[in-house]
Amino acid sequence: MTASVLILNGPNLNLLGTREPDIYGAETLADIEAACRTHGGNLGLDVDFRQSNTEGEIVEWIQAARGSATAIIINAGAYTHTSVAILDALLAVDLPVMEVHLSNIYQRDEFRHHSYISKAATGVICGLGSQGYLLALDAVAQRLDQANN
Ligand code: DQA
């Protein structure tokens, strides 16, 4: 059975391409999704790629991942810095979690330096743009390989 990776994107990431391109780059979320699907396919991973501007919807997707996904890659956007609810959902499902940010949050406003998500994260990648998502997929694939050998 092909392992399925749930890739979740939080608020305003649907605006990538036009949103503060000096910080987030010119790629759209659809470009990132396509790159993740191709890279995931090469690694033998099924990619379920989603975006929501609503905290509750993200919580529900995380809850539903229990039993259907093998790992979660999440860029929670601004909810990273505010959401105990998303943290609790990630802790509850007990899956490997890779936290990704396009920008280097430690070079930015002080309120972006704290992530609630990190407490549930197996690994954190930030500042590498869309490459961060692909590196997170690599990390998931490698962990699955190790678990199966
Ligand atoms: C972000 C960083 C967050 O601080 C911000 O609110 C975002 C995007 C990133 O990918 O760099 O929406 O998660």
Residue nearest to atom 12 of ligand 1 (CA): 77
Tokens matching residue 131: 């490459």
Whether residue 51 is predicted with pLDDT greater than 80 in this model: the reply is yes
Q: Provide the pLDDT for residue 148.
A: 85
Catalytic member of 24, 79, 116, 133: 24
Ordered alpha helix ranges (H), 14-130: 21-24, 29-42, 55-65, 84-93
d(CA 126, CA 130): 10
pLDDT band, residue 149 (cuts 50/70/90): confident
Contact call for residues 118 and 86 (beta carbons, < 8 A): no
Active site residue 101: yes
Whether residue 87 is predicted with pLDDT greater than 90 in this model: the reply is yes
